[in-house]
Amino acid sequence: MRLSLLDRSRTRAGSPEGAALRHTVERAVAAERLGYERFWVAEHHGVPGIASGSPAVLLAAIGARTAGIRLGSGGVMLPNHQPLVVAEQFLMLAGLYPDRIDLGLGRSLGFTPPVRRALRRSGQEPDTFADDVAELRAYLESTAPVTARPAADGAVPLFVLATGRGTEVAARLGLPVVLGGPVLSAPELEDVLAAYRRDFRPHRGSRPHVTVSLDVLVADTDSEARELALPEVWAMVRSRRTGVFDVLEPVPAIRGRRWDDQDADRVERGLAAVTAGSPATVRRRLEQLAERTGADELLASGATFDRAALAASDAALAALR
């Protein structure tokens, strides 16, 4: 599988939120040096633990610091935007950084009712995702009634982040699909992928392309890697109680807290879901995933409080190629 990185610009205890964006740029520079295929960023709104609300803005900054690595969104949440505006943003990026820009599209409406209201979404709107993707593609390909500017010199590849019916949309439109989260552990995963490949309708010569996105962290030993995974898992566990996905905390601070049985159980299940371990352990688990899915690409999305350990993890993962 090709190896790529997704960075969500996680905020950290004791640091300004804006520092998370600078850290993302620095990680992208390192990812290019390590030979990663792509570096993607995210869109989240009103989340204390994530600083990235505008992928296009962040990608412009990353493009200015890198030379060849592909850059993209994992993803732009299309229900929050007009397709023409998204097309213009990514055509501008493609004009600045030719043949380097990807556009991953998701359909999340925001985590909480206040965020959805701020985005002018009630959650009751009809599902127009497939039509919006098709409209956006027409702008990118200059086949729509309105020509988005700047006109593209080359293609801006689209990717569908698959949740729910996402694989069906991707197959019908002839687009690559990105699978992550619970869908990767679902017993019907093989059936979903078989249907995607069977029902794929090529568009301008496109072929089925499957990317799997999962949290991956590599350390010298399995136990060390599990500790690296703890800050992200803990943030998710706490969000189940508080409704707030918060900043990453250092491991000693987390271990020093009082956990009840429910917290402990959720932490253990969360750690089990992360692909965290020594190089040999991670290689074995990724080979098993590749065999199960036939995936073309891995989009690794691990995060931890210790930035030096995260950089070492990125280097160790790249070395597994």
- Structural domains of the chain in order of their starting residue, each with its CATH number: 2-217+276-318 (3.20.20.30)
pLDDT at position 165: 72
Ramachandran quadrant class, 306 (left: phi over 0; alpha: psi -120 to 50; beta: rest): beta
**250-257 contacts at long range (C-beta below 8 A, 24 or more positions apart):** 250/13, 250/305, 250/306, 251/227, 251/305, 251/306, 253/13, 254/230, 255/230
- Alpha-helix runs per DSSP H in the chain: 17-34, 55-65, 83-96, 113-118, 129-140, 166-173, 189-199, 222-242, 251-255, 261-273, 279-293, 307-318
pLDDT at position 125: 81
Query: Which residue in 56, 129, 54 sits closest to 87, CA to CA?
Result: 56
pLDDT at position 60: 98
pTM for the whole structure: 0.95
pLDDT at position 114: 87
Angstrom distance (rounded) from CA 137 to CA 134: 5
pLDDT in tens, the chain (321 residues): 899 999 999 999 999 999 999 999 999 999 999 999 999 999 999 999 999 999 999 999 999 999 999 999 999 999 999 999 999 999 999 999 999 999 999 998 777 888 888 988 877 788 899 999 999 999 999 999 999 999 877 789 999 998 767 899 999 999 999 999 888 888 889 999 999 999 999 999 999 999 999 999 999 999 999 999 999 999 999 999 999 999 999 999 999 999 999 999 999 999 999 999 999 999 999 999 999 999 999 999 999 999 999 999 999 999 998
CB–CB of 248/303 below 8 Å?
yes
Measured torsion, CA atoms of residues 61, 63, 66, 71, in degrees rounded to the nearest 10: 120
DSSP-derived letter for residue 38 is E
